[in-house]
């Protein structure tokens, strides 16, 4: 039986009614987008947006004057970046006629200081640069004054919006909420809408997150360059686990040093002694107060360390340095993943060897993919060419992974910048393989068949799968 005309009209009315809220929301969204576009166009016409910090009166800060290091810590997360803020504001004439000419100069309340692009936090405000390109070096004329919007003057000035970053985030959140609302009302594609919004939010936050990660990694590199105490304690722990008349030496694959004690990754089914506590798997811990060799001043790598060559790979989630023993790398280490971070891994290992075993010879080979070579630290001895030894008649070449791994001293390093081609692979085999010269290979690229293979990502993490460990790479 066919439907009556009245029934057809009634069934079509419900979809039409359901579409009205959707059409209204879409129209509202279009109006909002148009308004945002007009505001953005107006801002672009008046000048470029910059990030600034407005110096508050000491009465608003509990009587404590504001300093450049405090601003750097609050907006950049690092007091040492006060120099970056000073460089942006040196000679900039403020609304009271004065200017910042020295990093140690007192800051006046009401001064508007420009900030680096990666500044963030509740104290960061947006400003419009209307100086017309007047920014100059310290030897030129002043770079333009700064003044609030209500000063009535904008020529050659930086105008501060009365819109903090929190408001900008609120506008973005409202926009995302509108998108989600449209998806819910339409009752179609909710999952795809949510996934798209999630991807967009992650992409927006990626640059800032990577900048923060890079700042942490650079700070770690600077700390490694001056921290000799952790190296000394790691070598002393290695000495405590050396062979004794009652037991053989305990193979130490990695060490973690912190203020509370030491963690060691051992091939030991039984406790080394009563001062050690088993955690899980190969990990054992000893508290700082549990004994061991007493602390002593001296070289970072003691002369009685034997074949061991400890290097800090990076820091763990608690920001504590983690060491591995390069003398246990019989063959080649291949670091794959993000090319720039993989190069940082090898560059840091070279710096560690330079500090702990100065004079070690190193030869750098170019890879097949044209990756940039590392910078050889001054403490190492660069060699342009290493002649491989003559092959032994009774030695069968089995490659750097097929042959069993053995511990041996690090007599020299062969670095391959990028994935090795046929020539570099043959040279690695001759110098680092079984029956070779006993050298150690470091490759930032995919060296097929390497004994050790680590992986890095673009966030600056390195994964050491054997242990397993996930560490922050110094930069």
**What tens digit of pLDDT does each residue of 244-257 get?**
777 777 888 899 99
Within a domain: residue 21? no
In the listed set 306, 340, 358, which residue is the last one of a domain according to the structure?
A: 306
**pLDDT over 60 (residue 129):** yes
239, 345: one domain: no
Domain count for the chain, please give it.
Answer: 3
Minimum mean pLDDT range among 195-199, 286-290, 339-343, 402-406:
402-406
Please report the pLDDT score of residue 395 as a whole number. Answer: 44
CB atoms within 10 A of CB 390: 8
Report residue 43's pLDDT band, with 50, 70 and 90 as the boundaries.
very low
Measured CA to CA, the distance from residue 177 to residue 167 in angstroms comes to 15
385 versus 62: which is more confidently predicted? 62
Q: Pick the more confident residue, 58 or 414.
A: 414
Q: Is the pLDDT of residue 270 over 80?
A: no
Q: Are 185 and 22 in contact (CB under 8 A)?
A: yes
Name the residue with higher pLDDT: 397 or 125: 125
Q: CA–CA distance from 408 to each of 76, 138, 244, 432 (Å)?
A: 45, 56, 20, 11
| Closest by CA position to 412, among listed 437, 376, 378 | 437
Contact 105, 69 (CB under 8 A): no
- Residue 381's pLDDT band, with cuts at 50, 70 and 90, is very high
Q: Do 269 and 134 lie in a common domain?
A: no
Q: In the structure, what pLDDT confidence band is assigned to residue 184 with cuts at 50, 70 and 90? A: low
- 147 and 33 in a single domain? The answer is yes
Assigned domain for 218 exists: yes
For all residues of the chain together, what is the average pLDDT? 76
| pLDDT at residue 150, rounded to an integer | 38
- Quick check: 149 and 161 in contact, CB under 8 A? yes
The confidence band for 33, taking pLDDT boundaries of 50, 70 and 90, is: low
Do 471 and 334 fall within a single domain?
yes
264 and 375 share a domain? no
Residues 101 and 215 in one domain: no
Is residue 276 included in any domain, yes or no? yes
Q: Which residue has the tokens 């549990």?
A: 290
- Whether 67 is covered by a domain: the verdict is yes
Residue-level pLDDT at 31: 55
pLDDT greater than 50 at residue 373: yes
Give me the pLDDT at residue 61, please. Answer: 77
Give residue 244's pLDDT: 76
Q: Does one domain contain both 48 and 92?
A: yes
Do residues 205 and 147 both lie within one domain?
A: no
Q: What is the pLDDT of residue 34?
A: 53
Q: Is residue 234 part of a domain?
A: yes
Query: Could you give the CA distance from residue 427 to residue 99 in angstroms, rounded to a whole number?
Result: 61
Q: What is the pTM of this model?
A: 0.56
- Quick check: is 15 in a domain? no
Measured distance CA(209)–CA(215) in Å, rounded: 10
Higher-confidence residue of 57 and 133: namely 57
Q: Do residues 375 and 453 both lie within one domain? A: yes
Residue with the bigger pLDDT between 91 and 271: it is 91
User: 405 with 422, same domain?
Assistant: yes
pLDDT band at 188 (very low <50, low <70, confident <90, very high): low
Query: Is residue 4 domain-resident?
Result: no
Full domain range(s) for residue 33 = 29-171
Residue that finishes a domain, picked among 306, 341, 373: 306
Query: Is 450 found in the same domain as 354?
Result: yes
Residue 377 is assigned to a structural domain of this protein: yes
Q: Over 60: is that where the pLDDT of 235 sits? A: yes
Mean of the pLDDT values across residues 339-350?
95
Res. 404: pLDDT tops 50 = no
Q: Is there a single domain that holds both residue 254 and residue 214? A: no
The domain boundary, picked from 274, 306, 338, lies at 306
Residues 6+ apart with CB under 8 A from 405: 328, 329, 330, 331, 451
Nearest C-alpha neighbor of 216 from the set 473, 391, 463, 458? 473
Exposed / middle / buried, residue 141 (Cβ in 10 Å: 0-12, 13-18, 19+):
exposed
For residue 148, the model assigns a pLDDT of 38
Question: Does the pLDDT value for residue 418 go beyond 70?
Answer: yes
């Amino acid at each position: 039986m066919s439907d009556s005309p009245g029934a057809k009209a009634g069934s079509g009315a419900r979809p039409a009614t359901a579409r009205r809220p959707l059409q209204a929301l879409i129209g509202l969204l279009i109006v909002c987008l148009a308004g945002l576009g007009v505001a953005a166009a107006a801002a672009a016409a008046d000048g470029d947006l910059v990030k600034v910090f407005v110096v508050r009166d000491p009465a608003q800060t509990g009587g404590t004057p504001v300093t450049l290091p405090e601003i750097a810590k609050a907006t950049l997360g690092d007091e040492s970046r006060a120099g970056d803020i000073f460089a942006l504001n040196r000679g900039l004439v403020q609304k009271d006629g004065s200017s910042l000419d020295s990093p140690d100069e007192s800051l006046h309340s009401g001064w508007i200081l420009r900030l680096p692009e990666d500044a963030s936090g509740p104290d960061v405000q947006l400003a419009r640069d209307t100086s017309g390109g007047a920014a100059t070096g310290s030897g030129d004329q002043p770079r333009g004054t700064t003044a609030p919007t209500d000063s009535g003057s904008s020529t050659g000035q930086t105008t501060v919006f009365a819109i903090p970053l929190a408001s900008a985030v609120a506008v973005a959140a409202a926009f995302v909420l509108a998108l989600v609302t449209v998806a819910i009302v339409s009752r179609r594609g909710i999952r795809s809408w949510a996934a798209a919004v999630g991807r967009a939010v992650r992409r927006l936050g990626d640059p800032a997150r990577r900048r923060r990660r890079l700042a942490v990694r650079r700070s770690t590199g600077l700390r490694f360059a001056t921290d000799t105490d952790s190296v000394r304690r790691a070598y002393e722990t290695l000495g405590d686990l050396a062979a004794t008349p009652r037991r053989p030496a305990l193979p130490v694959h990695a060490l973690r040093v912190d203020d509370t004690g030491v963690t060691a990754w051992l091939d030991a089914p039984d406790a080394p002694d009563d001062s050690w506590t088993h955690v899980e798997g190969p990990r054992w811990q000893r508290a700082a107060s549990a004994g061991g060799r007493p602390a002593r001043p001296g070289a970072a790598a003691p002369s009685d360390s034997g074949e061991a060559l400890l290097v800090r790979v990076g820091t763990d989630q608690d920001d504590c340095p983690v060491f591995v023993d390069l003398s246990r790398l019989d063959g080649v280490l291949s670091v794959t993943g993000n090319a720039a971070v993989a190069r940082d891994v090898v560059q840091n290992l070279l710096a560690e060897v330079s500090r702990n075993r100065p004079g070690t010879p190193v030869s750098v080979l170019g890879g097949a993919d044209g990756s940039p070579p590392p910078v050889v630290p001054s403490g190492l001895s660069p060699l342009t060419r290493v002649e491989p030894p003559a092959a032994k008649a009774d030695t069968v070449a089995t490659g750097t992974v097929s042959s069993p791994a053995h511990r041996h001293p690090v007599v020299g390093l062969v670095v391959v910048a990028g994935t090795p081609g046929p020539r570099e692979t043959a040279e690695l085999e001759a110098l680092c393989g079984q029956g070779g010269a006993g050298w150690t290979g470091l490759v930032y690229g995919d060296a097929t068949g390497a004994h050790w293979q680590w992986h890095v990502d673009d966030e600056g993490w390195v994964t050491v799968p054997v242990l397993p460990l996930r560490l922050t790479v110094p930069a």
